[in-house]
Structure 1
């Protein structure tokens, strides 16, 4: 919070509650699962989370106070509502409005105090999305492969880190949007011709055409949270 400018600080709630230790402990567990950063960086994460919750609660109460008799549905991630931590307790502290928490669940395990009601949606298969399997980095007027995921379509085709992507099925690639459009048009089982420029030590750069594919389900082929 200390890094915010005076203008930014004018937009945050004056009254912020930091006393929910159970909520803090749950956030600590989440942080440890996804980060190896220091405890100081957890404090930044915790402050950002609480500020988000408190701002949501402030805006909810402000709207309802300005519109008497109105009912509001708030869509938020489970971490912001379960056990009434996050948003619900902050709304109650500010206004005392009656609230009901509806949480989605797979039904594998339930704790009665997680929410007031539970919704059990049917599983929905995500639409197919083709991926090269690279970490892309944007540079002025072009994109390059910062790294290539082992076992990915790009890896199997011979793409290497630092290759500069020039074209996808004949379409010039100037930025990440161009690459996304090319991939979006691919169906499961399709392939693509990707032209790359490869830098070589002590030798001129070379241009290579790689036949990449067939594209298959991401989960079947490889896994990474930041791939293209």
Structure 2
């Protein structure tokens, strides 16, 4: 839920996304890696919104030509920047087109679904789980459901299997990892690694257990490319960079193993893999590792941001992406950048679950926000929104995700033992300012 800090200008340093999600799909690399090793084209000059380029030849493709080509492959990788609406539109177009051509013969593998949630994904596709419960599951597995809502709804409506490809979340929180790196940057003579991380690093040196994927560490281009995103962090300490590279590798190997296993068990299926761009670009992430296990023809489509709003450019990572003697993808599809932040309804409160009374406790209120204008105060407990009971924080965030800017609602609260109804306006926030 929003806090004061979440209303401040958003920055995207790599350390804030220590989970490696930023490596998978940050928009920055799409703008900084214009020098692509395709024989006949230079993406920064040749690509425009809506244009599809076949990178091995530089030939323009229509959408229908692309779909026909992809239909000849068993595995289709479609990269993404996780917060790019247009990237997800490209993904949905490809899924729908291939489903029309090969009904009942495709599956969608997702980085955003972690292995422990496979049963939930199956229940969703089978129509046995309502949207609210699935959003709760998805939020635990990944985060913002809204970016994937149309894709997941299409899979459910067309009974397309969803494959949970990603490994379970690390037991070590982002905060601890970030603190470790910051301490190293402050000039400590020796990097202080918490016991749980030290144990994890040691386990990486051991032979893989039956439930862990085998790691292939013989790709210098992979290390050079992924390592570029950590350059300048951790005070240049190689052990930190190595730790993150190996973590990224473990993600890629896990997703590759899950994809290969699925294809071994379903040889008549085509698998469309949705993953952050850096998991599929240059083939050395998931594609090469899946091919090692299941050698089947594949193609990579990379949605490529060629138009970026001026006001968003300050968010981009400053990464010196190395030039590699590899092709970044088979196809680049030009898109403009658009996220969902502008239309996001935020009340402007810090919140937590409340047990007595049951509901959502208000820990703080942002000045001039919708909550402040409604008269919410620290210590209030929210119990319903527009008649829908609020038993926990998730209930509030889910209900707000369905509201439209400009509307109004009623918050039922408990304050000092008294029940009150407060009218509240549904507004978006721009750097903490109510709109």
**TM-score normalised over the length of structure 1:** 0.65
Instruction: Count the aligned residue pairs.
Output: 207
In the TM superposition, what whole-angstrom CA distance separates every residue of 1:167-213 from its partner, at most 9, and x where no partner exists? 33455432235434643564321222324345xxxxx6666544322
- 1:72 counterpart = 2:267: no
Report what 2:411 is aligned to. Answer: 194
* Change beyond 3 A, Cα 1:59–1:169: closer
Q: Does 1:217 align with 2:428?
A: yes
Cα shift at 1:87: 0.7
Compare CA radii of gyration and give the structure with the larger one: 1
More helix by share: 2
Query: Counterpart in 1 of 2:298?
Result: 99
Distance in 2 (CA, whole Å) between partners of 1:60 and 1:133 is 41
How far residue 53 of structure 1 moved from its aligned partner, in angstroms, is 0.9
* Backbone CA RMSD of aligned residues: 4.3
In the alignment, which residue of structure 1 is the partner of 2:211? 11
Is the 8 Å Cα contact of residues 165 and 196 (structure 1) preserved in structure 2? yes
TM-score by length of 2: 0.38
Q: Is the 8 A contact 1:27 1:46 kept in 2?
A: no
> How far apart, CA to CA, are the structure 2 residues paired with 1:64 and 1:172?
44
Is 2:349 the partner of 1:134? yes
> Which residue number in structure 1 is paired with residue 253 of structure 2?
54
CA distance in 2: counterparts of 1:177 and 1:208, whole angstroms:
22
User: Paired residue for 1:156?
Assistant: 373
- Give the counterpart of 2:283 among 84, 103, 124: 84
> Is the Cα–Cα contact under 8 Å of residues 143 and 175 in structure 1 kept in the other structure?
yes
Deviation string 1:123-154 (CA, Å, 9 cap, x unpaired) is 77859553323343123332113443454311
The Cα shift of 1:70 comes to 5.5
**Greater relative contact order structure (CA < 8 Å, 6+ sep):** 2
- Relative to structure 1, is the Cα distance of residues 118 and 142 closer, same or farther in structure 2, using a 3 angstrom cutoff? same
Task: State the Cα distance separating 1:95 from its structure 2 match.
Answer: 4.9
Partner SS state of residue 299, structure 2: coil
Contact 2:347–2:427 (8 Å) recurs in 1: no
Answer yes or no: is the 8 Å Cα contact 2:344–2:401 preserved in 1.
Answer: yes
Is the alpha carbon distance of 1:118 and 1:9 closer, same or farther for their aligned partners in structure 2, counting shifts above 3 Å? same
Structure 1 gaps, min length 5: 199-203, 224-228
Residue 334 of structure 2: aligned partner: 120
Cα distance, 1:11 vs. partner?
1.3
CA distance in 1, matches of 2:243, 2:417: 44
Q: Report the Cα distance in structure 2 between the residues aligned to 1:168 and 1:196, rounded to whole angstroms.
A: 9
3-state secondary structure, aligned to 2:302: strand
Q: Deviations over 1:9-59 (max 9, x none)?
A: 43111x212453124314526x96xx9xx9988776554432221012123
State the shift of 1:108 in Å. Answer: 3.9
Query: Structure 1 residue 175 and structure 2 residue 392: aligned?
Result: yes
Which stretches in structure 2 are left out of the alignment for 5+ residues?
A: 1-169, 171-198, 309-322
